[in-house]
Amino acid sequence: MLATRSILKTVAQNPNARALAFKNVAGVPMGVRHFNATSSTKAQSPAAETEILRQQRKVRPVSPHIAIYQPQITWYLSALHRITGAALGGALYLGSIGYLASGMAVDTASIVSAAAAAPVAVKVLAKTTLAFPFVFHSLNGVRHLVWDAKKCLDIKSVYTTAYVVLGGSVAGSLYLASL
């Protein structure tokens, strides 16, 4: 591949090499780049090609490059939606496995008495911490369903629904924490 490029570059830049390369070819258009490799053309080894690619990747920016793009609320909500989904799913699985692995029956009365013994601030903080991911993920999921229906897809509506989801998440989690 590199041998082909270097020959084409030489032919394109040097009129004498062009005449020599195409002396027996009648009417070869210069805009079209045809080159038939011969058996004397040496290909690079796969290890050398891999090394070249590795060196090129070292200087390539990460895509999208964080330093050149301005952060947007859509980024944050997308990341938060994924994080809350993973956290809710993980909590469900870990709680279920923990319950099954404990081997003891946990009844409602023991859970209520343990929660009642906690200070009010701890109860509100715990309920808010549990409620926010659920409310946010639910409201943002509804927002995605609206997008699936091809509604609210212009930039202004996307930002408006983002702020509605954030406000609704805060209000909903505070409401659930106050119960």
Q: Confidence band (pLDDT; 50, 70, 90) for 21? A: low
Task: Compute CA distances 83 → 55, 89, 125, whole Å.
Answer: 34, 10, 20
The domains of the chain, with CATH numbers, are 2-59 (no CATH), 76-178 (1.20.1300.10)
- Please say if the pLDDT value at position 30 is more than 70: no
Q: Report the distance separating Cα 85 and Cα 14, nearest Å.
A: 61
* Range of lowest pLDDT (29-33, 52-56, 60-64, 109-113): 29-33
- H/E segment holding residue 108: helix 108-116
Q: Report the distance separating Cα 56 and Cα 165, nearest Å.
A: 42
Residue among 28, 35, 26 nearest 2 (CA): 35
pLDDT at residue number 110: 84
Mean pLDDT of 166-170: 97
Query: In terms of pLDDT, which residue wins out, 141 or 115?
Result: 141
Q: What is the pLDDT of residues 96-107, one digit of tens each?
A: 898 888 877 778
Query: In terms of pLDDT, which residue wins out, 139 or 9?
Result: 139
Tell me if 173 sits within 8 A of 131, measured CB to CB.
yes
Q: What is the pTM of this model?
A: 0.61
Q: Confidence band (pLDDT; 50, 70, 90) for 94? A: very high
- Please say if the pLDDT value at position 63 is more than 90: no
- Please say if the pLDDT value at position 173 is more than 60: yes
pLDDT at residue number 118: 92
Percent of the chain with pLDDT over 70: 73
Average pLDDT score, the chain: 82
CB atoms within 10 A of CB 124: 14
Q: Report the distance separating Cα 17 and Cα 10, nearest Å.
A: 7
Q: What is the pLDDT of residues 65-85, one digit of tens each?
A: 667 778 889 989 999 999 999
